[in-house]
Structure 1
Amino acid sequence: MSEIPKSLRVLIIGGSGVFGSRLAELAAQEPGVSLTLAGRNLDRLGKIANALVPQSSVLQLDRDLIEPGDLEPFDLVIDAAGPFQASRPQVIAAALGSGTPYVDLADGRRFVADFPSFDDAAKRCGVPLVTGASSIPALSHAVLDRMVSRWSAVEDIRIGIFPGNRAPRGLSVVQAILSYVGKPVKVFREGEWQQVPGWGLTHSEQIPGGGKRWASVCDTPEQDLLVQRYRPRRSAEFFAGLELGLLHHGLAMLSMPVRWGWIASLLPFSKVMLAAAKLFLPFGSDRGAMIVSANGEDQMGRPINARWSLEAISNRGPFVPVLAALCMIRRFRDGWPPEPGAHVCAGLLCLSEFEDDMAKLGIVHRFEETHGKPADVLTGGAKAA
């Protein structure tokens, strides 16, 4: 076990963003943790830092121009800036060069898939690097690990995230979504890898406390990691949905020029689409949700179905993606970090590590389990649209 620092000095890059600011709010309450918030906009950082108890310091820092010397004063750096879909590894290189442990909230499929390439360098430098410390794959796999631990086989897995329309949104989140909308996405369906259009396979999904919402397939690391870790026989999919049908189907319609090859991507329209989405903030609700569903066979070989659901009201949903990073801060503070190397945060954390934080935030989660064949195959009803 490594020596516990008197005060874990944590640098949060993107500290004024939707997720970075919420991570700072929670981490500031942790004993033995001192925070520095970093980003390009000192005014915004200062407002966030001054609102924290205790107050944190701020550092003007361009994520794309970071150097090892920028990280030397810190015991841990957390990259909460995003988007990671086209991110370059400057922060990782700086962490390796300075010997600073690194954690991120990455949801970029290629970024996470390429992360193990840093493993040899991280071991040589004696530095733990952790990617994907967020709702997916950290929380989703913690749920699945508890759900299927006693199963003999997994048939299907589906994971969905549904933010409330009134939840705050940032440019990096919009850019992450638009990076794949209309483009081919590889998913494991019907026992084989298939290509479907990003933001396609549109279907309705029942969510806890919120009725039905539309959902579409997304290009995330889950599409690969679920297959690698749980070996489902038939399918493994991740999808997300906007609360307002007008916005959800509107984005599906806007994907058509990309699917037809008329334009390469919707990314150039990110700022316009963010501004348009903000016009609809008075509508919908502040209720977010997440679901994890699976079916397979129990230890006796009997068909079994399980579903976990999370419900976050009063705009507490944006805290969910930062809970895994908060858990990692505690692990580094308490002297039991991951071993040196490059780790994907899938199976690193237990669901019990999230539960107290969710309870404090008023976030409700529950498991349901039944035996027998499911009424509908988990891939049923999802159509390429």
Structure 2
Amino acid sequence: MSDPFRVLIIGGSGVFGSRLARLAADEPGVELTLAGRTVAKLEAVAAGLAPRPAVLQLDRNAVDPKHLAPFDLVIDAAGPFQASQAQVIVAALASKTPYVDLADGRQFVADFPAFDDAAKRCGVSLVTGASSIPALSHAVLDRMTSGWRGIDDIRIGIYPGNRAPRGLSVVEAILSYVGKPVRVFREGGWQEVPGWGMTHREEIVGIGRRWASVCDTPEQDLLVRRYRPRRSAEFFAGLELGILHCGLALCAQPVRLGWLASLRPFAKAMLAVSRLFLPFGSDKGAMTVLARGEDGAGRPIEARWTLRADANRGPNVPVLAALAMIRRFRDGWAPEPGAHVCAGMLGLHEFEADMAKLGIVHTLEEVHGCASEALTPLAKAA
């Protein structure tokens, strides 16, 4: 009998880490250990899994190589990755333990290639961004634009239902850029717009209208680098309830005016306020990817992919890429040693069976010969 594939999930009791643990627990040959700062929370998650994982009290900003050495793979699902320390990566290199994270911090992902030389010397694979963006979004774009001659516009959006569980790390990640200048590719060039600005409404098939505002993510840079759109590459997210979404846009004003450096110190208070509204709204989440350009025959084309996750299944979506990476490492299909961004690394087929099992529906629609004008322009600072 072969030895088990030992996986350490840091942040194993969090919104995303706990869901990854539940899905990975069903993987043949995988032996899990859940790590985090609060043992009681880890034990509560472990108690619902079979076989029951071990738990390890661990602060991700004080990780020692000896903590990682017993494992075949470490996954950092803790966050927030905005202004996050690199201690887990340093420990992974020192212990020669392969590493995967769910990072959504723009600077964190941009700085990740700096570890490439060290990872190659140590013979270790490091992977960042194994989450909804860029792993899933690029898998979708790779399929929908296969054979196209060129891409004009890309627009991606994530819209959780109001009743979806929310954690402090997610709120801190959002507040880290609200009201601050965000660099986006629009109208054929780079522009700066206020974080959580450009507020508008998006029509989502099967969901209805949702609020949307611009976010600061690695996606904007990666979309331009990989797909070279001629006009725009935009990323939005939205809160279902207008009182919360537009209220956050209003709270951004002191940051935009320079009266506050950041809203992040108010994360716990804002999280508490948002939880007062949990009885309202819905449990329906969505993710959209839209692209316009020229197909293989040079005709204008528009492709639109929509994911719908009801019954609060939405928080499972960000962990599906990490689940796919666990399988790859377990089965000997790990990337070469080095520091890699998980953009174009996974195919959409590596997500589809898991989405179907979870009851998450996704559809892809194409319109050939559609008008090639730019996407509907949005206000620069709503």
**Runs ≥4 residues deviating over 4 A:** none
In the alignment, the residues of structure 2 paired with residue 374 and residue 311 of structure 1 have an alpha-carbon distance, to the nearest angstrom, of: 27
One-letter identity of the residue aligned with 2:227: Y
- SS for the counterpart of 2:33 is strand
Note closer, same or farther for the CA distance 1:280–1:88 as it changes in structure 2 (3 Å cut): same
CA contact (8 A) 1:203 1:383 kept: no
**Correspondence list, 1:106-145, <5 A:** 106-145=103-142
Q: Does 1:192 align with 2:189?
A: yes
Asked if structure 1 preserves the Cα contact closer than 8 Å seen for 2:231 and 2:374, the reply is: no
**Aligned letter for 1:87?**
S
Give unpaired runs (5+ residues) of structure 1. Answer: none
Pair 1:69 & 2:61 matched: no
RMSD: 1.1
TM-score (norm 1): 0.98
Task: Give the secondary structure class of the aligned counterpart of 2:254.
Answer: helix
2:75 corresponds to 1:104? no
Preserved contact between residue 135 and residue 343 of structure 2 (Cα < 8 Å)? yes
Query: Residue 57 of structure 2 corresponds to which residue in structure 1?
Result: 60
State the number of aligned residues.
Answer: 382
Once residues 300 and 351 of structure 1 are traced to their aligned partners in structure 2, the CA distance between those partners, rounded to angstroms, is: 24
Provide the C-alpha distance between the structure 2 equivalents of 1:53 and 1:129, rounded to a whole number of angstroms: 29
- 1:309 alignment counterpart: 306
Give the direction of change, closer, same or farther, for the CA distance of 1:216–1:6 in structure 2 (3 Å limit).
Answer: same
Q: Tell me the equivalent position of 2:178.
A: 181
AA of the residue aligned to 2:259:
W
Q: Give CA-to-partner distance per residue, 1:222-270, whole Å, 9 cap, x none.
A: 0100000000000001110000011000000000000000110001100
CA shift for structure 1 position 135: 0.1
Map 1:127-276; keep pairs closer than 5 Å. Answer: 127-276=124-273
Instruction: Give the AA of the match of 1:46.
Output: E
**Identity percentage of aligned residues:** 75
Unaligned runs of 5+ in 2: none
Return the offset for 1:190: 0.2
Does the Cα contact within 8 Å between 1:161 and 1:241 map onto a contact in 2? yes
Q: Which residue of 1 aligns with 2:278?
A: 281
State the Cα distance separating 1:372 from its structure 2 match: 2.6
Tell me whether 6-15 or 373-382 shows the greater mean CA deviation.
373-382
Whether the 8 Å contact between 1:159 and 1:292 is mirrored in structure 2 is: yes
Q: Distance in 2 between matches of 1:37 and 1:56?
A: 7
Quickly say closer, same or farther: Cα 1:382–1:210, change in 2 above 3 A. farther
| 1:149, distance to aligned residue in structure 2 (A) | 1.3
* Deviation of the 1:282 alpha carbon: 0.4
Pick which of 372-381 and 322-331 moved more: 372-381
Determine the C-alpha separation between the residues in 2 that align with 1:179 and 1:131. Answer: 19
